[in-house]
Amino acid sequence: MGFSTSDKKSGPTISGARALVDGLLREGIDHVFGIPGTQNLAILDELRVTPQIRFILTRHEQGAAFMAYGFARAANKPSVVTVTEGPGITNIVTATAAAFKGNVPVISITGVQESVMRERDATQDMDQIPFMKPITKWAYSIPYPEKIQEAVRKAFRVALTEPQGPTHIEAASEVLLQQVTPETTLPAAYRSTVPAVCDPAQIDAAWALISKAERPLFVVGRGVMKENAVTAMERLATAAGIPVTVLQYSPDAFPATHPLALGPLGRNAFGSANKNAPKADVIVALGAHFDVFSTMYKYGIFSETAKIIHNTSAPGQIGIVFPVELGVAGSATSFIEGLAERAAKGKARTPWVDVAKARADFEAEITAVLKPEMEPIQPQFVAHTIRKALPRDGILVVDAGNGGKHVRTYFKSYLPNSFMCIDDWASVGGSFPIALGAKLAQPNRPVLCASGDMGAMCNIGELETAVRENIAVVYVVFNDQGLGNERAFQNEHFGGRYFAVDYKNPDFGALAKVFGAHGEHVTRPQDLEGAIQRAFASGKPAIIDVMIDQNNLAPVVHRT
């Protein structure tokens, strides 16, 4: 017989909401994002008396969930968003889906309509679990108080199991306000906290393939950063004498300053990588999840005859896109260190490609199109200036759309965890709240957000959150008064017949000042770098509204 709300309690008791918040504390949660509502007020009441957790009240539930996404990415740990039932749930789904596609451990803890109201067509009543299941790793409605602490534990366990991703738990106030016996189980007792290591025999097999290769290539993914193994990866590349590329979504997984760095692969990435990767006869993917923008899910960026060695901590991801010669499941760190041990026993090879020349040729190519004196301002110049003005330890958050495509081409990484985009979801407008979450996670690092004007309007209300909470993110808006990405597609596929892609914008710089932030409106290219520097120096949230040439569009990349 299971627990019920009538079971007797033994010993001292606490409310279900208190038990839930204590579970968050044991997991190291120090920020919660969200908006109060009828059915999650019991949680908020406990957060009110929990100084270890900073609650960030946002202006929209989507903003809260995207902030949690950015915080989790930048802090490299799980994060929490809480909202009420019904519309609170429907408003977080875009960001939750982004976390699902991007393997980000965001735990949503929400209200649900009280049992007496369900199935009676009550206000804000809906069947929330089927709604959340397709975009989470686990979704559960807590039926009675005794299940609260177990549900919290499972939410974190599932979210942090590779591949990581969002989970969802919900409870009505009638459950959260009842008394339960507190449980003090620590995370190490209910989930693995040490990643599995790679089988040495598989590392031997991988090194044998690499040793026989004429043109081996390392392809580095975000898993290397998540394990803080970038420095180890640098040592491996140097010891082995093998050039390195990175996947589109993780250009910061290997520093652009390394003499063997070819740069990121794929759409709007580095020609130095894209021209040389197809020549490789052995591809060694480390901590990698092959994404569509890096590979277009077809041969071309990799040769069909190349042998692929795929390392990932999520075994189920091996072989999804490309058949592999060898799949190596386990932590990127153990794989890198294992290869380095074997490389140290031999002599480093001479790289098969002149990396310095390949990079110099690409730099010359993208510098030639900058046109730094041209008005209207060219988007390539904005992208170049962003990289120039952003300090080397800064974090860049890029939105979907035309502006984001230009920024990717000009972004050189110097340090790990310095770049974010909305991996495999491309949700326009998510970048600003993501950047706010990243800044809260890394308060000592400069954070710059880059998006188009449509993205700027999507979550502009969170500028008030940024001002109120003193979250000093610099927001550069590529303002072409329309949907540049769709203009490009309408040019390419619909004979230049523009429709529903043009509109007018407010002066975003002036709007920022109305909110109490720093704001500037830039129309001349020579004014841009100074404007970004002043924005950082202000110590405030800031918007730099940059009027760009609406006819200068990033190229459309075809799947076939």
- Tell me the Cα Rg of the chain: 25
Contacts of 150 (CB under 8 A, 6+ apart): none
- pLDDT score at 229: 98
DSSP 282-293: EEEEES----HH
pLDDT at 123: 73
Name residue 220's beta-bridge partners.
246, 286
Angle subtended at Cα 40 by Cα 36 and Cα 45, rounded to the nearest 5 degrees: 75
Give the contacts of 315 (CB within 8 A, at least 6 positions apart).
327, 329
6 three-state secondary structure: coil
Q: What is the pLDDT of residue 1?
A: 33
> What is the C-alpha to C-alpha distance for residues 311 and 2, in angstroms, rounded to an integer?
43
Measured distance CA(414)–CA(2) in Å, rounded? 55
- The tens-digit pLDDT sequence of the chain (560 residues) is 344 444 445 689 999 999 999 999 999 999 999 999 999 999 999 999 999 999 999 999 999 999 999 999 999 999 999 999 999 999 999 999 999 999 999 999 999 987 766 676 777 778 999 999 999 999 999 999 999 999 999 999 999 999 999 999 999 999 999 999 999 999 999 998 888 999 999 999 999 999 999 999 999 999 999 999 999 999 999 999 999 999 999 999 999 999 999 999 998 899 999 999 999 999 999 999 999 989 988 999 999 999 999 999 999 999 999 999 999 999 999 999 999 999 999 888 999 999 999 999 999 999 999 999 999 999 999 999 999 999 999 999 999 988 989 999 999 999 999 999 999 898 999 999 999 999 999 999 999 999 999 999 999 999 999 999 999 999 999 999 999 999 999 999 999 999 999 999 999 999 999 999 999 999 999 999 999 999 999 999 999 999 999 999 888 865 55
Q: For 83, list phi and psi in degrees, rounded to 5.
A: -145, 175
- The reported pLDDT for the residue numbered 558 is 59
**So what's the pLDDT on residue 5?**
44
Between the two ends of the chain, the Cα-to-Cα distance in Å is: 59
Q: 332-344 and 230-240 are packed helices; what angle lies between their axes, rounded to 10 degrees?
A: 30
- The DSSP element (H or E) to which 200 belongs, if any, is helix 200-212
**What are the Cα distances from residue 462, in Å, to 153, 312, 474, 545?**
31, 36, 13, 17
Q: How is residue 1 written in tokens? A: 């017989």
Q: How are strands ordered across the β-sheet holding 261-264? A: 261-264, 244-246, 216-220, 282-286, 307-312, 326-329
Tell me how far apart the alpha carbons of residues 319 and 333 are, in angstroms, rounded to a whole number. Answer: 21
Instruction: Provide the residue count of the chain.
Output: 560
3-state SS, residue 188: helix
Q: What does the pLDDT read at residue 4?
A: 44
- Assign 55 to helix, strand or coil: strand
Secondary structure (3-state) at 54: strand
Taking the alpha carbons of 261, 264, 266, 271 in that order, is the dihedral positive or negative?
Answer: negative
Hey, what are 393's tokens? 């330890």
* Of the candidates 384, 368, 418, 371, the residue with the CA atom closest to the CA atom of residue 532: 384
Q: Which has the closest alpha carbon to 400: 434, 379, 429?
A: 429
The rounded distance, in Å, linking the Cα atoms of 3 and 389 is 59
CB 39 within 8 A of CB 111: yes
Listed residue (252, 235, 247, 237) closest to 274, CA to CA: 247
Q: Of the candidates 165, 183, 151, 196, which has an alpha carbon nearest to the alpha carbon of residue 97? A: 165
Residue 449 token pair = 């957000």
Report DSSP letters for 72-92, one per residue: HHHHTS-EEEEE-STHHHHHH
Q: Using an 8 Å Cβ cutoff, are 77 and 401 in contact?
A: no
Quote the longest CA-to-CA distance of the chain. 77
Query: DSSP class of residue 558?
Result: P
Q: Is 527 helix (H, G, I), strand (E, B) or coil?
A: helix
